[in-house]
Amino acid sequence: MRLSDEQQAEIEELRADAHPTRRPVVAGLEDLLYSARPVLDHGFVRVVDYMGDDAAVVQAARVSYGKGTRQVREDRGLIRYLLRHRHTTPFEMCEIKLHVKLPIFVARQWIRHRTANVNEYSARYSVLDGEFYVPAPDHLAAQSTANRQGRGDVLEGEEADRVLRILNDDASRAHANYQAMLNTDADGTPIDPAADGLARELARINLPLSTYTQWYWKTDLHNLMHFLSLRADPHAQYEIRVYADEMMEILRAWVPATAEAFEDFTLGAATFSKGALAVVRRRLAGEAVSQETSGLTPREWRELEAVLGGE
């Protein structure tokens, strides 16, 4: 990730500008406020603003004027109860706004979560930097033979080198042509002062999906956890999962009691279908159950065996 001197100075100025407030603040998240957390080769996530904390979830659930006389452990118990029984509305009372820099192909996955307010950097109005995502060698993998949307073995040797050359060369050439169509060099200076450049909204169309974009992304706590339940999962694509991993650290700093319950009851948990639960009960009763006698499809059986630690 590259931050210009101007961007770093702006961040330091924002972090130094403190304001007294009657709003609840979270010390752990205040320490992270505005700081860019590096992700991938040029990306980042940074907290711009937030509203609420664990106590706000409890307050909304009890519809109370404040914390009352209950102890922290009772608040923790209520939060765990709410998450365990899927009472989601109190978590919608907390919100967070993130500034994210990410490759366009990751943004296309991310935007499928339609429960946030999003404002993206406009390539019609501004010129895109020449920054592209190129996978690290240990993430350069072949297509999985078992999963249509997954990866298989890591490429090595000349094959890996060839793919990296293609990715770097194509991205560099596309951006050079982008600048040529705009009639500007890397500093924005016109290449030919007598010529008109192509409109920015047209010049951008030839850029690859590896190009980095940026957006402000604001969501509530309930929908943030839904996003993380899918994108912090080991089966999620690596390039979006690493963003989710950074956001998990932000969640822990922001609402530690909620984050603990989320990891216990959602992220690290498993759900069973009616048929799968029947198989578990039969096994607990001492019955030997096979896929053929389970009533489950072969895929459902494999998934159940994976959850239970079978082969």
Within 10 angstroms of residue 264's Cβ, the number of other Cβ atoms is 13
Residues 13 and 93 placed together within one structural domain of the fold? yes
Residues, the chain, total? 311
Whether residues 220 and 147 fall in one domain: no
Q: 76: domain CATH number?
A: 3.30.1360.170
Q: Are residues 67 and 156 in the same domain?
A: no
Per-residue pLDDT of the chain (311 residues; tens, 9 = 90+): 567 778 788 888 888 888 888 888 999 999 999 999 999 999 999 999 999 999 999 999 998 666 554 666 789 999 999 999 999 999 999 999 999 999 999 999 999 999 999 999 999 888 888 899 999 988 888 776 666 667 778 888 888 899 999 999 999 999 999 999 999 887 778 888 888 899 999 999 999 999 999 999 999 999 999 999 999 998 899 999 999 999 999 999 999 999 999 999 999 999 999 999 999 999 999 999 999 999 999 999 999 999 998 55
Same domain (yes/no): 139, 113: no
- Does 216 lie in the same domain as 95? yes
Q: Which domain holds residue 200?
A: 134-209
Q: How far is CA 148 from the centre of its chain?
A: 22
Residues forming a β-bridge with 218 = 97, 117
174 shares its domain with 257: no
pTM for this predicted structure: 0.89
CA–CA distance from 72 to each of 25, 64, 67, 77, 256 (Å)? 16, 15, 9, 9, 12
Site of tokens 């459902």: 300
Total domains present in the chain: 3
User: Which residues belong to the active site?
Assistant: 231
